[in-house]
Amino acid sequence: MQINEDDLRAATAAGIIDEAQAARLGSLAHQRAGRLAKGLAEDEPFELFRGFAEIFISIGLILLISSAIAFAASIGGVVAITLGLAGLCWLAGTYFTLKRRMSLPSIVLVSGFSMGISGFFGWMLDVIGLPNDQGWVISLFGILGIGAMLLHYRTFRVPFSMFIVGLYGLSVVFGITGTFTVGDFFTSDWDTIFDLRDGSGLALGTLIFGLLAFVAGLWFDMRDPHRVGRMARSAFWLHLLAAPALVNTIMMTAYNVPGALGVFLTIIGLVLVTIFALIIDRRSFLTAGLGYLAALLLWAMQQGDGDLSIPILMLVLGAIVTALGTFWTNLRISLMRSLPNFPGKNRLPPHDNPTQDTE
């Protein structure tokens, strides 16, 4: 049974939904039908702004928020500044997010809200007298931030909120591992900072965080396999965090293995990352591995005798990336058809396109 426009009008007349909700449902249905009629979508859903009007309004909101902070600072008090900022952004969100459905202004307001609550929670923990260099305090700060952002997400449904939730989650993980501080990040050896074999707290933390962020992103993806709603857009931001955390940790650990074994493990890792990215249809994981692909290409070219310059490396790397981007959909169709059924396969983005035969 399918719901049509007559059903929406009847539901509106019966008071089940209002006219605005009926309009949004109709718009979503038409959008989904259009995407399905075209077959598989080429792009992952991502929307930063819909027009220059949103940019213009966002600039105005940034100026208003800045002035509000200045006024609160003149009055005095951290509480007035932080909670005032969070409250102002929440109030503005009821209009620009809930009523106007504007993308970029919503991102600005979410960011402002997170800044406000972060400042308040930091001040509160300091007033209580908790040491800010202890892992469990850092984790507590992250948990409080996650709770506040989930409340904001439940109210306003802004996908970008998941990105900020992920950042708070990162602080929780690093606090639990207990062996990493901001100072360590700038003083660590960048060749081994993500190497699990080195026993780095950052490497362990990024691995755990990447797995958690990926699971959360996949949960959102599976609730919107056709990627036409906010679930898929929320997953986009989570995968954007999960990809570099997972790929850098695994690939750097493999790449740092001495000799030919490290090269072999890196090649295997890149192949697996590519297959994995195709299966879940998220290019962010493959993008996170481009640096290691460039390192492998440079290593391979150095085995010859010629003058192997950076432009040649860029040419080869650019050709590979362009080819993958151009034929991504066809590659995914072929891969998914060749794979046996596995749990959740039917909840991933569709891979059977009747209008596009790849054989």
The 10s digit of each residue's pLDDT in 295-314 is: 877 777 665 555 556 777 77
The DSSP-derived string for 240-294 is HHHHHHHHHHHHHHHHTS-HHHHHHHHHHHHHHHHHHHHHHT-HHHHHHTHHHHH
Q: Judge whether residue 236 has pLDDT over 80.
A: yes
State what percent of residues in the chain have pLDDT above 90.
33
Write down the pLDDT at residue 226.
Answer: 81
Distance CA 285, CA 262 (A): 20
Helices (H) and strands (E) in the chain, counts: 15, 0
pLDDT, tens only, 320-351: 888 888 888 889 999 999 999 888 888 888 87
Report residue 357's pLDDT band, with 50, 70 and 90 as the boundaries.
very low
Distance CA 198, CA 193 (A): 8
Residue 289 burial by CB count (10 A; 0-12/13-18/19+): exposed, middle or buried? buried
Residue whose C-alpha is closest to residue 234's, from 304, 306, 162: 162
pLDDT, tens only, 118-137: 999 999 988 888 876 677 88
Distance CA 82, CA 275 (A): 45
For residue 290, CA distances in Å to 285, 286, 316 come to: 9, 7, 12
Q: Judge whether residue 111 has pLDDT over 90.
A: yes
Distance CA 90, CA 120 (A): 15
The DSSP-derived string for 205-223 is HHHHHHHHHHHHHHHHHHT
Write down the pLDDT at residue 205.
Answer: 86
pLDDT, tens only, 39-64: 445 556 666 777 788 999 999 999 98
**Quick one: CA dihedral 264, 266, 267, 272, positive or negative?**
positive
For residue 309, give the DSSP letter: -
Distance CA 39, CA 35 (A): 7
Report residue 358's pLDDT band, with 50, 70 and 90 as the boundaries.
very low
